[in-house]
Amino acid sequence: MSRLDTDVPAVLLRIDRNPFHHGTLGAARSLGRAGVAVHVVAEPGRSPVTRSRYVTATHRQPAPGAGHQEIGATLREVAAQVGERAVLIPMDDLGAVAAQRLPAPLAARFLQPDQPAGLCARVADKAELARVCAEAGIPHPPTELPGSAAEAVAGARRLGSPVIAKWTRPWLLPQGTGLRSTTVLRTAREAGELYARTAEAGSRLLLQEFLPQGPRLDWFFHGYADSGGGLAVSGAGLKERAWPPGAGLTAVGRWVPNPDIEETALRLVESLGYRGILDLDFRLDAATGAYHLLDFNPRPGAQFRLFTDPGGLDVVRALHLDLTGRAAPALTPVPERVFVVGNYALLSAAAAPRAARGHAPAPMGHGPGGAPSGGRERAWFAADDPAPALAMAVCFGLHLLRAAAGRLRRALARLRPGHRSPGRDAAPLTPSPRAPSPATPARAPETAAPRRTDDEKASSTSCTTWW
């Protein structure tokens, strides 16, 4: 692999207050091991990523709810402290959208891909993504964009039970409201009630048909579209375990070449003129064999380190090479390489044992038939950088304790006289007309788990107060 230009530092920009974002740690390690100075915009206090030996300096995030001006002010301070032009790498959707809207004088202080104006915001917007897929002929679940509570109720009934509800611009969701970017609804009335909170959410509500869950149905694609539009550094992976089980973020992922997904990604990049790092989420419709594009994240996905070749090349290094005028070589595929997010893998295994899931993935570190694999990378632990794993263990333990205490308080509240559970009398939605394949039975509505993005983990308060 070409040697990175170590005279050009990198700035990892994360606006989301999520101390468990292992993708930020992966980017810091990838660039730091190559000799690049890494500056991280992260939570105030000492979150696990700041404990890494590969982080040169940590810079305070803008306040919660910050807009583009406040984010720009933060980057202006970072640029002044770094003192030289740096490669800017947003690690969440809000950061990616804001980075593309920087005033020209400030944007000149950073190296970024030459992206078509407004494209990051367009692909990250759930409603716009549905239009993008329609224009490019890419499968996407049937979608409704209601304009009133009554339309939300009617749309939910048309889509069937259960139905997925998404806020079209999840990065605008205010903290402390209980609103999630994605929710599984089981009654039409819930759709109307959720629509009533549109002004609070800051963006429109979108309803989407629920695609049945099952083994080997959830896939992802990570790549770097270089200045020429090529995807030489890219790969497709299979989500083997998730948290929450069956629908959440990747807890265990495996590098599995998939020509259908790879061709779809290339077609999408070419049709949009997209440049930079991208993270795509797909779900296979077992009834039709079509891979439906669910999400387009215009930045590195948290598990991007899965796609690392023997020379250490990954999408983050490819971006740094390209933006500093050094050609990135083609990625050498390492099929069956495994990426494990320890804290979420543990929770996933405890909540959904293999017998309950009805399938058993190949042992980690080995391919089908026990053949040697491309190895395994842990999201948190690294022999050359152990401190973040220790910090995460303490931090995550405190987070679990706080979560358990919250559940106990809610359980006790339900025992009080006069308590009434919301939605108890709501009529269930009509079952979806989609017929699942015999090999992949539809999950019953009561077992369907909400699908979460990489930006929705936990409050940073669990990590910033224990030191």
| pLDDT tens per residue across span 288-341 | 999 999 999 999 999 999 999 999 999 999 999 999 999 899 999 999 999 999
281 located within any domain: no
Number of domains composing the chain: 1
Residue 427: what pLDDT? 52
Q: How confident is the model at residue 364 (pLDDT cuts 50, 70, 90)?
A: very low
Range with the poorest average pLDDT among 143-157, 168-182, 363-377, 379-393: 363-377
Start-to-end CA distance of the chain, whole Å, equals 40
Q: How confident is the model at residue 453 (pLDDT cuts 50, 70, 90)?
A: very low
Residue 394 has pLDDT above 70, yes or no: yes
Taking residues 193-222, report their average pLDDT: 96
Residue 350: what pLDDT? 84
Residue 26: what pLDDT? 98
Range with the poorest average pLDDT among 8-17, 108-117, 141-150, 353-362: 353-362
Q: How confident is the model at residue 451 (pLDDT cuts 50, 70, 90)?
A: very low
Q: How confident is the model at residue 431 (pLDDT cuts 50, 70, 90)?
A: low
Taking residues 110-132, report their average pLDDT: 96
Q: Angle 342-351/387-414 helices, nearest 10 degrees?
A: 40
318 located within any domain: no
205 located within any domain: yes
199 located within any domain: yes
205-209, strands of its sheet edge to edge: 143-144, 205-209, 163-167, 182-185
130 located within any domain: yes
Q: Give which of 4, 455, 447, 44 is closest to 245, Cα–Cα.
A: 447
In contact, 333 and 310? CB cutoff 8 Å:
no
How far is the C-alpha of 406 from the C-alpha of 411, rounded, in Å?
9
What CATH number is given to the structural domain containing 190? 3.30.1490.20
* Beta-carbon count within 10 A of 409 CB: 9
Residue 397 has pLDDT above 70, yes or no: yes
Chain segment 272-292, per-residue pLDDT in tens: 999 999 999 999 999 999 999
Residue 30 has pLDDT above 90, yes or no: yes
Residue 372: what pLDDT? 33
Tokens of 337: 């390489």
Residue 435 has pLDDT above 80, yes or no: no
Residue 222 has pLDDT above 80, yes or no: yes
Residue 74: what pLDDT? 97
Residue 179: what pLDDT? 93
Residue 406: what pLDDT? 85
Residue 359: what pLDDT? 43
381 located within any domain: no
Residue 457 has pLDDT above 90, yes or no: no
Tokens of 188: 């039409």
Locate tokens 């559970």: which residue?
Answer: 421
406 located within any domain: no
Portion of the chain with pLDDT greater than 90, in percent: 68
Q: Is the dihedral of CA 170, 231, 291, 379 positive or negative?
A: negative
158 located within any domain: yes
Residue 348: what pLDDT? 87
Strand partners, 225: 276
How far is the C-alpha of 208 from the C-alpha of 157, rounded, in Å?
11
Residue 369 has pLDDT above 50, yes or no: no
Mean pLDDT value across the chain: 86
Residue 141: what pLDDT? 97
How far is the C-alpha of 367 from the C-alpha of 308, rounded, in Å?
17
**With DSSP H G I counted as helix, E B as strand and the rest as coil, what are the percentages for the chain, rounded to 5?**
35, 20, 45
Residue 203: give the domain boundaries: 125-212+430-447
